Amino acid sequence: MTSSMRSLFLDAARAAAGLIADPKVAAAWDEPGALPKMTVGGIAEHLAHQILSVPEVVAVPVEGGRELDIDAYYAQLRWIGEDPDSEINTAIRDNAEQRSAEGPAGLVARTAAALAHLTADLPSVPDHQVRMGHWQEGISLSVDTFLRTRLLELLIHSDDLAASVGLETPAVPAAATESVVDVLTRIAIRRHGPVAVLRGLSRTERAPKAVNAL
């Protein structure tokens, strides 16, 4: 899993970095994006954060943490299913919008530098426990599980950014999409139940109105 997940993450990160650097993104930076109450620049910043945050996180091993698997990690997240105007979702939006003040050129440069660093160093990082600073105290993930969560963010927000400026969603390896869809399906089953998800994927005549994961 180690080499394949890291390779998938890097492939998705390269695709996202290329999208962020597209001239259409810079041209529409301050325009409304495809997500409510977010500009194109804010979405680009949030997408880039899934790359920019990784070097520091994976470089610092955590000892004694309660290591979660992918299902337990998403089960404890407070923002899943929250109203878009909830405190936590508002904070995520505000943070991205504030960072977008740097403009597109600065973000493109920082993203490229982080990606170059990760391309060189990520393959050799041990699969130790890591954590992000805003997580609940005592919780950690393995490096590979953490990268799987970032892969999900990269694919979802690459689609958001592409839709915001009328570009095609960047292509990634099929295994990357399969990994993300697997995680989303597990979350959807937990939220809506197995029968609802089964019907949503197989039977239009009995499909529920929504089986969204997030």
Contact 199, 208 (CB under 8 A): yes
- 41-73 per-position pLDDT tens digit: 999 999 999 999 999 999 999 988 789 999 999
Sorted by where each starts, the structural domains of the chain and their CATH numbers stand as: 2-170 (1.20.120.450)
Q: Where does the chain show beta strands of DSSP type E?
A: 66-67, 129-130, 139-142
Torsion of CA 132, 5, 3, 54, to 10 degrees: -30
pLDDT at residue 63 in the model: 87
Contact 138, 129 (CB under 8 A): no
List the single range of 9-13, 137-141, 144-148 with lowest mean pLDDT.
137-141
Nearby residues of 96 by Cβ (< 8 Å), 6 or more positions away:
38, 42, 43, 45, 46, 49
CB 142 within 8 A of CB 70: no
Strands 139-142 and 66-67: parallel
CA distances from 214 to 4, 82, 113 (A): 25, 9, 30
Q: Which of 157, 1, 129, 138 is nearest to 76 (CA)?
A: 138
Yes or no: say if 141 and 68 are a contact pair by the CB < 8 Å rule: yes
- State the average pLDDT over residues 3-21: 96
